[in-house]
């Protein structure tokens, strides 16, 4: 068990960094000190008490990244509640499903998202609050939450008649063994699993950031990954906060133009990102330059090549603000060609490995120790094994055990048993090898997960199940093309086509209608840009699973 208590880590950071800047809203240009955050958390605690929110109750949270989102999160876990963060990109039906499945009693939500939900479908919710300004926007019949909300300031002043100071920051003792968060790996009702994370799992991630020197009081972060996703939440938010760092929350979709402007202004000292963002920069800024004949010639000239590569490295470094110690890439595998080039020019990057079930970190190495095509070295608080006869050379499933591992899946004992064996080993579903020094290499994703434009998890099977139920679809595969757009390979139901006397030209129209209907049921980042007809049934394993790897290069 991690010695440091998760709630105490949050509490101590507020006290010891009282005057330091903690969070900045990039859009509103508003900065909150650690003292400001502590006071807002105390205000929320007063509200929680007045509305009947009790220890162990679930608080759902969905909305735009920003300080207010973080304050609700901190207030919930330091009060003794269980936070249920939900990706704002999920479609309304999936948000409703997660709110209900988690048994959430209260909900904080951005105004624009609330407009798309129906209060009568939220089965256990007693009250809903706006994440924009914390006002009560819905209360269950018979409840007096709006009345309590109106008396909020009065109740706070009565609770702290001499004003609020650092000495008043004292939270209840919540053992690290207790669940503090349910993080949903997906929004689909068929596949969603609520990962139960303890204070210990979060403390494991945070203490690694502290003890390794990854973050400090001098660190500046620019948060553009979704906070409802384990990666962004653990490092841009929780670790940064517990380390006394200053985080600026972008609060909008990180398009290249917007992101580059923010990076140049914030000049972060460490950057947490996903492969798609850095690969896009490589393809658009570096690849075209390298393909020029004059550049290829100069790179073959001794001495001149090192000068040119150094200049490229400086340009790339300046693109990210110029003051970072390293860029940490996680969430999926980095394009090998881009990775090799970044390593060659001396760009300060590293690739880590984690999963929601480990809150999320499993392995990381600093950029100067990072081994090409690896995902870093296993954390000191974690164990790993490869299920193969020769774990150093023969690929097998990666299984892990240790402080960061989840408690299980909420209300899903069967899935928990399948994931965690009797000896406490978490079966990751990822295939790889491990060096004697603990460096992990991932060779394939057994779970077939894809990555959305801002680091969202995309599970293709969920989309395929919906598509397979649509007219004239026999089976389908959802893949990412070279531009990281989702394309569906569809095998038509030829018997149904013949019966309906459908021509090939008619089929194209029907499939485009299918695509539009499908996209209306998914999150924006799960949208299918194209349906491509595949002429014959997909090749399958003895278990009747499609051999996906055979079709990655079939996209036109």
* Residue 519 CB neighbours (<10 A): 17
pLDDT digits (tens, 9 = 90+) for 288-333: 777 788 777 777 777 778 888 998 999 899 999 999 999 999 987 7
Q: What is the pLDDT of residue 43?
A: 98
Give which of 438, 356, 435, 429 is closest to 396, Cα–Cα.
429
Structural Rg of the chain based on CA atoms? 25
Do domains 6-197 and 271-323+326-442 share one topology? The answer is yes
Q: What is the pLDDT of residue 188?
A: 35
Q: Is the pLDDT of residue 542 over 50?
A: no
Those residues whose C-beta lies under 8 Å from the C-beta of residue 175, and which sit 6 or more positions away, are 5, 199
CATH code 3.40.50.12780 for 6-197: yes
Decide: 331 and 451 in contact? Cβ < 8 Å: yes
- Share the mean pLDDT of the chain: 92
Query: How would you classify residue 129: left for phi > 0, otherwise alpha for psi between -120 and 50, otherwise beta?
Result: beta
CA pair distance 536, 474, nearest whole angstrom: 10
126-132 average pLDDT score: 97
390-396 average pLDDT score: 91
CA pair distance 273, 227, nearest whole angstrom: 12
CATH code of the region 458-554: 3.30.300.30
pLDDT digits (tens, 9 = 90+) for 58-111: 999 999 999 999 999 999 999 999 999 999 988 899 899 999 999 999 999 999
- Domain boundaries, given as residue ranges, for the chain: 6-197, 271-323+326-442, 458-554
Q: Which CATH class is domain 271-323+326-442?
A: alpha beta
pLDDT-derived band at 184 (thresholds 50, 70, 90) equals very high
Q: What is the pLDDT of residue 314?
A: 93
CA pair distance 94, 87, nearest whole angstrom: 10
What's the DSSP call for residue 455? S
Tell me how far apart the 2 most distant CA atoms of the chain are, in Å.
Answer: 81
User: Tokens at residue 489, please?
Assistant: 């390979």
* Residue 205 CB neighbours (<10 A): 27
Decide: 555 and 532 in contact? Cβ < 8 Å: yes
Those residues whose C-beta lies under 8 Å from the C-beta of residue 333, and which sit 6 or more positions away, are 275, 351, 442, 445
Strands 136-139, 127-130: pairing kind? antiparallel
pLDDT digits (tens, 9 = 90+) for 166-178: 999 999 999 999 9
Q: Is the pLDDT of residue 543 over 70?
A: no
**Higher-scoring residue by pLDDT: 14, 555:** 14
Q: Is the pLDDT of residue 449 over 80?
A: no
User: Tokens at residue 124, please?
Assistant: 């256990």
Decide: 23 and 249 in contact? Cβ < 8 Å: yes
β-bridge mates for residue 398, sequence order: 386
pLDDT digits (tens, 9 = 90+) for 352-391: 999 999 999 999 999 999 999 999 999 999 999 999 999 9
Q: What is the pLDDT of residue 446?
A: 61
pLDDT-derived band at 187 (thresholds 50, 70, 90) equals very low
pLDDT-derived band at 191 (thresholds 50, 70, 90) equals low
Report, in this order, helix, strand and coil percent for the chain, each rounded to 5.
Answer: 40, 20, 40
E strands, 440-523, in order: 440-445, 450-451, 457-458, 473-480, 486-492
pLDDT digits (tens, 9 = 90+) for 403-431: 999 999 999 999 999 999 999 999 998 88
């Amino acid at each position: 068990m991690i010695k440091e208590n998760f709630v105490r880590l949050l509490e101590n950071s507020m006290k010891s960094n009282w005057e330091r800047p903690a969070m900045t809203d990039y859009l509103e240009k508003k900065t909150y000190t650690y003292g400001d955050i502590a006071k807002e958390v105390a205000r929320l605690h007063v509200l929680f008490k007045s509305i009947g929110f009790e220890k162990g109750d679930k608080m759902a949270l969905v909305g735009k990244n920003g300080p207010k989102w973080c304050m609700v999160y901190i207030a919930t876990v330091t009060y003794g509640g269980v936070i249920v963060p939900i990706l704002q990109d999920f479609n309304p039906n999936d948000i409703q499903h997660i709110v209900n499945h988690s048994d959430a009693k209260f909900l904080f939500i951005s105004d624009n998202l609330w407009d798309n939900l129906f209060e009568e479908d939220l089965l256990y919710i007693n009250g809903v609050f706006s994440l924009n300004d914390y006002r009560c926007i819905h209360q269950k019949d018979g409840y007096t939450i709006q009345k309590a909300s109106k008396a909020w300031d009065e109740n706070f002043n009565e609770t702290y008649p001499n004003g609020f100071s650092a000495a008043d920051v004292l939270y209840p003792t919540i053992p690290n063994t207790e669940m503090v968060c349910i993080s949903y790996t997906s929004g689909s009702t068929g596949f969603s699993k609520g990962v139960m994370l303890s204070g210990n799992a979060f403390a494991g991630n945070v203490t690694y950031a502290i003890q390794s020197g990854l973050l400090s009081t001098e660190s500046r972060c620019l948060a553009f990954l979704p906070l409802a996703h384990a990666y962004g939440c653990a490092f841009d938010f929780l670790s940064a906060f517990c380390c006394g760092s200053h985080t600026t929350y972008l609060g909008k979709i990180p398009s290249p133009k917007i992101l580059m402007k923010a990076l140049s202004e914030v000049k972060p000292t460490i950057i947490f990102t996903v492969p798609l963002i850095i690969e896009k920069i490589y393809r658009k800024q570096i690849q075209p330059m390298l393909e020029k004949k004059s550049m290829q010639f100069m790179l073959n000239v001794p001495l001149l090549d090192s000068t040119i590569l150094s200049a490229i490295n400086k340009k790339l470094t300046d693109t990210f603000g110029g003051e970072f110690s390293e860029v940490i890439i996680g969430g999926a595998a980095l394009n090998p060609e881009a990775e090799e080039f970044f390593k060659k020019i001396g760009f300060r990057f590293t690739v880590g490995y984690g999963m929601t079930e480990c809150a999320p970190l499993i392995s990381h190495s600093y950029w100067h120790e990072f081994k090409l095509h690896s995902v870093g070295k296993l954390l000191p608080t974690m164990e790993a094994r490869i299920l193969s006869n020769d774990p150093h050379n023969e690929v097998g499933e990666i299984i892990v055990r240790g402080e960061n591992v989840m408690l299980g899946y909420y209300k899903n004992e069967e899935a928990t048993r399948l994931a965690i064996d009797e000896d406490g080993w978490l079966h990751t579903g990822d295939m790889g090898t491990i060096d004697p020094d603990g460096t992990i290499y991932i060779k394939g994703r057994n779970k077939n997960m894809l990555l959305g434009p801002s680091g969202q998890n995309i599970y293709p099977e969920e989309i395929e199940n919906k598509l397979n139920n649509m007219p004239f679809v026999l089976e389908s595969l959802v893949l990412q093309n070279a531009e990281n757009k989702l394309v569906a390979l569809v095998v038509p139901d030829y018997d149904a086509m013949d019966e309906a006397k459908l021509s090939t030209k008619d089929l194209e129209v029907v499939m485009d209608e299918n695509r539009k209907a499908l996209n209306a049921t998914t999150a924006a980042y799960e949208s299918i840009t194209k349906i491509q007809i595949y002429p014959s049934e997909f090749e399958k394993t003895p278990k009747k699973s499609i051999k996906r790897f055979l079709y990655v290069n079939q996209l036109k």
